[in-house]
């Protein structure tokens, strides 16, 4: 067998430094995201979900660990791989699934679909179909917060592919110049859309890019929910203190292709299987069991609860309604004056 391009480090291990209640909440949420995404893949194959679909399978620790370090008042800006972020932010899974189906009971009345989940009340300011498109939005939200004298942190999630976009550099520069309360969370899965990071980045040490803007940066193992949560908690405290922005690189790996249309010819199957030994759910489960904080029955109960929630969400979406034909142009255009 030929050597893989990106060998997987040893799996996360060691005691989990959280009380049982919090630890099981983290595990529960990773299971909720995983079971949701698996069902979405199934429904896509059945033609129930259409368009583009980007799954978070393998990356659950980044979203769960990071979002549990933020408050409900903080702002979230995500990418098109944002189903987990929306769910963790409090979006009802049924509403989320209805949006995936294109039903009007969805969060955007079925008009946004997989890549455009949005919930203003939850301060989830969208998934974004444009690579790097959320970065300027995050800077704008943070600028508004600073001008109003607030203490909200804006957490902006993006992938390693976005680091090559001009919007990344413009956003990092302005955030540093204006000392804005932004936490830049790069979910580095090594392949962007389908290009190995060393083929698309002349500098693969992404934290060094932040340093070029005189911005503090930290890397964390994105497959280890403990490492993610602790790193994000420290970063959030720094940003909320008024010290300015911070860059957080979460080194993760997606187990599925970039999207459901992706033939995945850019990496070896052996590499993917190797990285699966670092899967955030089963390694965290093993650590909890080893520390006496989780039994097999408790794990099965949490998994069953996640499955039940997914089943209810699908039923809600199936029972949903399509937008009326006569309403399809509603909210697309607005009047600009008399006679228009």
At residue 22, the pLDDT reads 98
Q: Does residue 130 fall inside a structural domain?
A: yes
% pLDDT > 90, the chain: 93
At residue 319, the pLDDT reads 98
- The secondary structure of 139-182 as a DSSP string is HHHHHHHHHTT----EEEEEEGGGGGSHHHHHHHHHHHHTT--E
What is the β-pairing status of strands 182-188 and 246-251? parallel
* List of residues 6+ apart from 266 with CB closer than 8 A: 191, 194, 195, 196
**What are the C-alpha distances in Å from 114 to residues 40, 53, 98, 258, 283?**
10, 6, 10, 14, 29
- pLDDT band at 340, cuts 50/70/90? very low
pLDDT surpassing 70 at residue 1: no
pLDDT surpassing 90 at residue 321: yes
Higher model confidence: residue 82 or residue 325? 82
Percentages helix, strand, coil for the chain (3-state, rounded to 5) are 45, 10, 45
Q: Does residue 69 fall inside a structural domain?
A: yes
At residue 338, the pLDDT reads 52
User: What is d(CA 252, CA 209) in angstroms, rounded to the nearest whole number?
Assistant: 18
What's the whole-model pTM score? 0.95
Q: Does residue 73 fall inside a structural domain?
A: yes
Q: Does residue 33 fall inside a structural domain?
A: yes
Domain span at residue 77 reads 26-303
Q: Does residue 15 fall inside a structural domain?
A: no
Q: Does residue 308 fall inside a structural domain?
A: no
pLDDT surpassing 90 at residue 90: yes
The arithmetic mean of pLDDT across residues 243-249, rounded, is: 98
At residue 337, the pLDDT reads 59
Residue 217's domain is classified under what CATH number? 3.40.50.970
Q: Does residue 47 fall inside a structural domain?
A: yes
The rounded mean pLDDT for the chain is: 95
Domain total for the chain? 1
Condensed to tens digits (0 to 9), the pLDDT of residues 111-167 reads 999 999 999 999 999 999 999 999 999 999 999 999 999 999 999 999 999 999 999
- pLDDT band at 101, cuts 50/70/90? very high
Q: Does residue 319 fall inside a structural domain?
A: no
């Amino acid at each position: 067998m030929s050597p893989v391009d990106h060998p997987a480090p040893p799996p996360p291990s060691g005691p989990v430094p959280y009380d049982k209640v919090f630890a099981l909440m983290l595990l529960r949420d990773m299971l909720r995201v995983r079971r949701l995404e698996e069902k979405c893949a199934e429904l896509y194959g059945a033609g129930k979900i259409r368009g583009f679909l980007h799954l978070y399978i393998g990356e659950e620790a980044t979203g769960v660990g990071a979002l549990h370090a933020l408050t409900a008042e903080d702002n979230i800006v995500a990418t098109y791989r944002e189903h987990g972020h929306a769910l963790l932010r409090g979006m009802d899974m049924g509403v989320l699934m209805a949006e995936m189906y294109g039903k009007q009971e969805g969060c955007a009345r079925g008009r946004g679909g997989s890549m455009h989940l949005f919930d203003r009340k939850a301060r989830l300011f969208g998934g974004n179909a444009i690579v790097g498109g959320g970065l300027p939005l995050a800077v704008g939200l943070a600028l508004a917060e600073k001008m109003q004298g607030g203490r909200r942190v804006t957490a902006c999630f993006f992938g390693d592919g976005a680091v090559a976009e001009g919007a990344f550099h413009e956003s990092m520069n302005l955030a540093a110049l204006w000392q804005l309360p932004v936490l830049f969370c790069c979910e580095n899965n090594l392949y962007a859309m389908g290009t190995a990071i060393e083929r698309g980045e002349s500098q693969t040490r992404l934290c060094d890019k932040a340093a070029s803007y005189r911005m503090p940066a930290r890397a964390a193992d994105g497959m280890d929910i403990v490492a993610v949560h602790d790193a994000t908690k420290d970063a959030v405290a720094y940003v909320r203190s008024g010290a300015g922005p911070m860059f957080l690189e979460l080194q993760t790996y997606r187990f599925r292709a970039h999207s459901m249309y992706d033939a995945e010819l850019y990496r070896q199957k052996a590499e993917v299987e190797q990285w699966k030994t670092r899967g955030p759910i089963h390694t965290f489960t093993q650590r909890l069991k080893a520390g006496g904080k989780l039994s097999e029955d408790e794990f099965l109960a949490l998994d069953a609860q996640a499955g039940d929630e997914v089943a209810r969400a699908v039923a809600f979406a199936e029972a949903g309604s399509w937008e009326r034909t006569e309403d399809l142009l509603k909210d697309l255009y607005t009047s600009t004056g008399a006679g228009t």
